[in-house]
């Protein structure tokens, strides 16, 4: 039996409407299945809303029906209500750019439907941002604050760096929490689950964004199920961009939801503190050999034509856009090469104001928002002869939908490939 507050009891009884009542009931059932004894208040949520292709399985264009059956998991259609007032909600990535569809090889019908669905949820209290990196635009849950999110890398970032509390609950459970403002008091919402279980001593390079991407990818593929990694050893302390890459890659090759970095993240002032006082935790060394093995998994060998280059997995910061744009300035991409940098709307607008968008567009590329090739799917890139990306997560997952060569390297190697029309193997 889950213990409820008086407010939660009133919601369960339907005092605040059927929309919230059903969402809370789902959260209660979820808590019971986990063995949670009570719920906690959720103050922030990112939600996987928009006209995502999997929603088409319902065979309906009625968004009330879609939301009721696909998100609330109800057996009837309930008119759209409002998200919980105390929970700030915004959208995660969408299956289409918010402004254009032609460069993505999509049709206007999907573009219009996506905007329609997002407008409906906006009226329900969900801000449209289309970001897989919400902390770059002000969505930052602080230490002890409870959140839900549909982005795996965001779970790791918020738990690890900000000291906030959240689990990888999934699309539907995040929606229930946003509607009723509650989630089970379980997992990373409790102190006990946040303690490190295994140490990774870094002996490989740790200077660049690619280095931390590879570190995250390697830690993830060596992490035991349900493990909480503690990174220690000889490494150069990362910045937010490097952590963004690290955590996205780590969540790609594992189910990691939190990562302690000794003398860096708030719950890891020392190795002992990160491990909750344990002194006998297992230790895995990440060597140059491990690094090279991970890189080989992500980047095909040799030189080959590439006509599709995507940067920004996870979404780029303004700093990353600046560095790419200044390197691109004055160059021209090879004929038939599709080049895109992916970011959120707010960052793109800053890129416009600083002239970075024009630099990219003058070369023949685009700065796009809201989605990415992984979310949009093979309609966007399936025709390509070869692809290049600077995100380990993207290079890893894209292989399941793409049979031609996939190359991975830093932004400069990818830009060089766009100019040359082929991947230039690093010597």
- For residue 305, the domain's CATH number is 3.30.499.10
Same-domain status, 101 and 228: no
Same-domain status, 253 and 370: no
Sign of the CA dihedral running 91, 319, 362, 382: negative
Q: Which whole number is the average pLDDT over 197-205?
A: 98
Q: Examine the fold and report which residue of 189, 224, 256 is the final residue of a domain before the chain moves on.
A: 189
pLDDT at 425: 79
Q: Nearest Cα to 227, choosing from 163, 156, 165?
A: 156
pLDDT-derived band of residue 391, with 50, 70 and 90 as boundaries? Answer: very high
pLDDT digits (tens, 9 = 90+) for 127-184: 999 999 999 999 999 999 999 999 999 999 999 999 999 999 999 999 999 999 999 9
Q: Is residue 326 part of a domain?
A: yes
pLDDT digits (tens, 9 = 90+) for 87-123: 999 999 999 999 999 999 999 999 999 999 999 999 9
Contact 423, 405 (CB under 8 A): yes
Same-domain status, 67 and 24: yes
Same-domain status, 49 and 153: yes
Same-domain status, 201 and 74: no
Q: Is residue 253 part of a domain?
A: yes
What pTM value is reported for the model?
Answer: 0.96
Angle subtended at Cα 59 by Cα 56 and Cα 64, rounded to the nearest 5 degrees = 85
pLDDT-derived band of residue 427, with 50, 70 and 90 as boundaries? Answer: low
Same-domain status, 329 and 412: yes
pLDDT digits (tens, 9 = 90+) for 64-79: 999 999 999 999 999 9
Q: Examine the fold and report which residue of 296, 326, 343 is the final residue of a domain before the chain moves on.
A: 296
Same-domain status, 211 and 140: no
Same-domain status, 161 and 291: no
Q: Is residue 425 part of a domain?
A: no
Same-domain status, 183 and 203: no
Same-domain status, 199 and 328: no
Mean pLDDT, all residues of the chain: 97
Q: Examine the fold and report which residue of 136, 159, 189 is the final residue of a domain before the chain moves on.
A: 189
Q: Is residue 1 part of a domain?
A: no
Same-domain status, 184 and 199: no
Q: Distance between CA atoms of 386 and 337, rounded to whole angstroms?
A: 10
- Exposed e or buried b for every residue in 142-157, given b needs 16+ CB within 10 A? eeebbbbbbbbbbbbb
Q: What is the 3-state secondary structure (H, E, C) of 63-110?
A: HHHHHHHHHCCCCCCCCCCCCCCCCEEEECCCCCCCCCCHHHCCCHHH
| Structural domain boundaries, residue 362 | 301-420
Same-domain status, 199 and 271: yes
- The pair of three-digit structure tokens given for residue 320, joined into one six-digit string: 């990353």
Q: Nearest Cα to 231, choosing from 306, 159, 283, 289?
A: 283
Q: Is residue 427 part of a domain?
A: no
Provide the number of structural domains found in the chain: 3
Residue whose token pair is 């919230």: 20
Q: Is residue 32 part of a domain?
A: yes
pLDDT digits (tens, 9 = 90+) for 41-56: 999 999 999 999 999 9
């Amino acid at each position: 039996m889950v213990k409820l507050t008086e407010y939660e009891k009133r919601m369960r009884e339907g005092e605040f409407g059927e929309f919230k009542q059903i969402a809370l009931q789902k959260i209660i059932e979820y808590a019971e299945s986990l063995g949670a004894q009570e719920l906690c208040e959720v103050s922030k949520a990112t939600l996987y809303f928009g006209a995502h292709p999997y929603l088409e399985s319902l065979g309906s264009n009625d968004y009330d029906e879609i939301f009721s059956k696909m998100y609330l998991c109800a057996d009837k259609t309930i008119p759209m209500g409002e998200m919980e007032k105390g929970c700030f909600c915004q959208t995660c990535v969408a299956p289409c750019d918010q402004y254009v569809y032609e460069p993505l090889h999509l049709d206007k019908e999907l573009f219009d439907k996506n905007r329609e669905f997002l407008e409906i949820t906006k009226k329900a209290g969900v801000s449209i941002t289309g970001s897989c990196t919400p902390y770059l635009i002000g969505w930052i849950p602080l230490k002890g604050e409870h959140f839900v999110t549909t982005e795996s890398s965001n779970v790791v970032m918020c738990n690890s760096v900000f000291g906030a509390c959240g689990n990888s609950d999934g699309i539907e459970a995040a929606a229930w929490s946003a509607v009723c403002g509650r989630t089970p008091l379980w997992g990373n919402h409790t102190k006990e689950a946040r303690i490190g279980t295994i140490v990774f001593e870094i002996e490989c390079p740790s200077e660049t964004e690619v280095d931390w991407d590879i570190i995250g990818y390697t830690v993830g593929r060596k992490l035991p199920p349900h493990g909480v990694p503690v990174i220690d050893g000889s490494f150069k302390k990362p910045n937010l961009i490097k952590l963004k890459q690290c955590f996205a890659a780590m969540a790609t090759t594992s189910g990691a939801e939190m990562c302690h970095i000794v003398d860096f993240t708030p719950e890891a002032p020392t190795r002992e503190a990160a491990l909750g006082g344990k002194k006998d935790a297992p230790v895995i060394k990440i060597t140059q050999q491990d690094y090279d093995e991970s890189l080989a998994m992500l980047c095909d060998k040799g030189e080959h034509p590439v006509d599709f280059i995507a940067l920004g997995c996870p979404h780029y910061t303004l700093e990353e856009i600046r560095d790419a744009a200044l390197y691109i300035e004055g160059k021209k991409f090879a004929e038939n090469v599709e080049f895109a940098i992916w970011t959120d709307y707010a960052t793109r607008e800053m890129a416009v104001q600083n002239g970075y968008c024009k630099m990219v567009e003058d070369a023949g590329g685009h700065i796009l928002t809201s989605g990415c090739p992984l979310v949009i799917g093979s309609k966007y890139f399936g025709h390509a002869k070869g692809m290049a990306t600077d995100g380990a997560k993207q290079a890893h997952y894209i292989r399941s939908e793409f049979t031609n060569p996939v190359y991975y390297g830093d932004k400069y190697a990818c830009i060089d490939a766009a100019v040359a029309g082929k991947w230039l193997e690093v010597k």
